[in-house]
Amino acid sequence: MHAAYWKYVAWRRLTDARRGSFPLSGSNFISRPVDQTPRALQADLALLDEMHRLLREAVVAVHPDDLDRGSAQRGVTKRALLTGIAAHDLYHAGQIQLLKRMASPR
């Protein structure tokens, strides 16, 4: 949900959408159900996919001439916003790979 939420934040800042439209309540680190079922995981993954789809649509809509113009986040260009969300995803992908390696038998 952390990754989904930050994709939502980047989408919102690219599109000037209003705050508070994320489908779950909370922000950044959102509490998840205590009972972690396959159905709950599938719902979370579906939300992540949806936020990624929305962000991709917003990124495609950015004209190259607008990359160095401001986003809805004061003092942050659209270029910085886009590279920042990409770096965020890469950071967490690296964490996941490290955890997978640590969990695998040697």
Q: Which tens digit of pLDDT belongs to each residue from 65-84?
A: 999 999 998 999 999 999 99
Q: Which two tokens stand for residue 84?
A: 């920042």
Task: Write the DSSP symbol of residue 20.
Answer: T
Beta bridge partners, 77, equal 70
Task: Write the DSSP symbol of residue 70.
Answer: B
Could you tell me the pTM of the whole model? Answer: 0.85
Cβ atoms of residues 77 and 70 within 8 Å: yes
Give residue-wise pLDDT tens across range 15-55.
988 888 898 887 777 777 777 899 989 999 999 999 999 99
Cβ atoms of residues 16 and 62 within 8 Å: no
User: How far is residue 100's CA from residue 44's CA, in Å, rounded to a whole number?
Assistant: 20
